[in-house]
Chain A
Amino acid sequence: MIYSERFECMKRDELRLVQGERLKDAVRRAYENVPFYRKKFDEHGVKPSHIQSIDDIRKLPFTMKDDFRETYPFGLFAVPLRDIIRLHVSSGTTGKPTVVGYTREDLDLWAETIARTLACGGGTADDVLQVAYGYGLFTGGLGVHYGGEKLGATVIPMSGGNTKKQLMLMQDFGTTLLACTPSYALQIAEEAAAEGIDLKKMKLRTGYFGAESWTEAMRKQIEQRLPLKAIDIYGLSEVIGPGVASECLEQDGLHVFEDHFYPEIINPETGEPVEPGQKGELVFTCLTKRAIPLIRYRTRDISCLNEQACPCGRTSRRMERVSGRTDDMLIIRGVNVFPTQIEEVLMKVEGVEPQYLIIVDKTGTLAELEIKVEVSEGIFSDEVKKLEALRKRIFDEMRSMLSISAKITLVEPKSIERALGKAKRVEIRTVK
């Protein structure tokens, strides 16, 4: 089912007109109501009247993550606080957190794009949706929750954690749709195996996985262990939360809900648009959001856009699975590596479960890379030479695929910390 055929299947040229009109309005609202944007536009020498079509978006300056911090807490809001009916806060690893606000219209819009997301994965009002994203300041739980209700599904607001109970409700309520982080999906599978629960007997049909970067190999693992289609969903709180883009059942790129969130791909070094289809940094403009009319927000996520029509009938452009973050990039002795690439390699080596930790040791003169890999029963052997061979195979694969030389350490199962929300995969050690 396509939730909003009118917009999701709109002819491209018609969509561009809609986007142009909406952009004009968003820029005007930003300029008139947000002193931060008025100043920024003035400095950049651009006036709302300069924006006549969607192509004019390139005349506008970028908004950066730091702009949220500098205007903390409410400096980017275009409406008075009495019109804001919800706040969400994303965890800031450094400095102040990022605060986003929503008007009533914004929450309706958000529920709509989540309903579209759920429908993209085949969800309908007949489904039972278990939301295992965290509820609270994080946008994941509540965001998916209201979209599920809007779709008319039976929503179980389980939140993250308490895996035993997750499994009980899943069995007893006949959950068909599961929404959580991909690493938590694997944790659920692990717990089920430990408890002797046969997941194949569950009614699960679609999993909506996002909020952290994951890989094709991880998708295969999840789909092997859980009886569901694993759908990649994308969003970030600065834009709205989950519900910015979603894969359909074709599992070939994420449809961007671009009548609301206009995507661009730029070269992160120069800020210039890349050639169509090329990889670069994703940039989003919120065309319709009232509380924060976000203009050309640099996500730091690396992706590319596919303009080809999708067999599912949706005409929206599809973004490729995010392959890394411009700021997650590790530089190991001059070689650029993304943690997701290391994960791909690990999973390619047969039988290695996706539990690993990348340690970048910068305490010496040269950065040293160590990768800790948990030894599961699938790869364990009672013979030293076989374990050594496994370690060597991982080492060789890393060197041939990524041109990095990493110390591979085999560690005991469950010795790498499991996070309920986002999985911590990288540890940087520096001189204190």
Chain B
Amino acid sequence: MKVKQLSIFMENRAGRMAEIARQLGEARINIRALSLADTSDFGILRLIVNDVDKAMKILKDSGHTVSLTEVVAVEVPDSPGGLASVLEPLRAGGVNVEYMYAFVEKATDKAVVIFRFEDIDAAVKVLAKAKISVLPAETVYKL
């Protein structure tokens, strides 16, 4: 249920993203989802990939600061109001979202939203109660 996300510290310098993408590409690692949080000096690259352990090793070996974070992937209808239908029960349940990002599935009419919660277990309970479908980790890695 919980999806493992890689978080990578990056300085805001030309070519840093390109280098990471190249390293992962050479190792045949496929990026499933991505988000970049940035400030004026540094950024945090968040990745969901098909092979977490291998990607983690490659990035660490090349000297990056990498951490594993547990996130939750939620499927929402790719239509107006889709996102709101998920956020409303979370608000009602008092669940705090640290950050989130979304992408659209290729073969279906669904979108996938990745959530990083302050309290992941509490969030999962709230989602279950609201009958919102949470994607199994294996499904996300294969999307």
Q: Which residues of A contact B (CB under 8 A)?
A: 375-377, 380-384, 387-388, 409-415
Contacts and interface: CB of A to CB of B under 8 A. Distances in A.
Contacts of B65: 375-377, 380, 412-413
B101 interface: no
Nearest to A380: B65
B46 A382 contact: yes
Contacts of B44: 382-384, 387
Interface in B29-72: 37, 39, 41-42, 44, 46, 63-67, 69
A376 B10 CA distance: 12
The residue in B5, B10, B63 that gathers the most chain A C-beta atoms within 10 A of its C-beta is B63
Is chain B's interface secondary structure helix, strand, loop, or mixed overall? Answer: strand
B67 A377 contact: yes
Contacts of B10: 412
Contacts of A383: 44, 98-99, 116
Contacts of B42: 375, 387, 410-411
A375 B9 contact: yes
Closest 8 CB pairs of A and B: A382-B7, A382-B69, A380-B65, A414-B63, A384-B37, A375-B9, A375-B65, A413-B65
B121 interface: no
B88 interface: no
Given A412-B11, A413-B64, A388 B39 contact: yes
A385 to B, nearest CB: 8
B16 to A, nearest CB: 8
The residue in B41, B63, B69, B99 that gathers the most chain A C-beta atoms within 10 A of its C-beta is B41
Contacts, number: 51
A165 to B, nearest CB: 20
Is chain A's interface secondary structure helix, strand, loop, or mixed overall? Answer: loop
Contact of A411 (B7, B11, B46, B69): B11
Contacts of A413: 9, 63-65
The residue in B37, B42, B64, B66 that gathers the most chain A C-beta atoms within 10 A of its C-beta is B42
Given A412-B64, A413-B65, A380 B98 contact: no
B98 A412 contact: no
Given A381-B67, A382-B44, A383-B98, A412 B9 contact: yes
Nearest to B6: A382
Given A380-B9, A382-B5, A412 B63 contact: yes
A395 B67 CA distance: 25
A428 to B, nearest CB: 21
A415 B11 CA distance: 10
Given A375-B9, A377-B66, A377-B67, 14 more contacts: A376-B65, A380-B7, A380-B9, A381-B67, A383-B98, A383-B99, A387-B9, A387-B42, A412-B64, A412-B65, A413-B9, A413-B63, A413-B64, A413-B65
B119 to A, nearest CB: 14
A383 B117 CA distance: 11
B41 A410 contact: yes
10 contacts: A380-B67, A381-B7, A382-B44, A382-B69, A382-B116, A384-B44, A387-B9, A409-B41, A412-B63, A412-B64
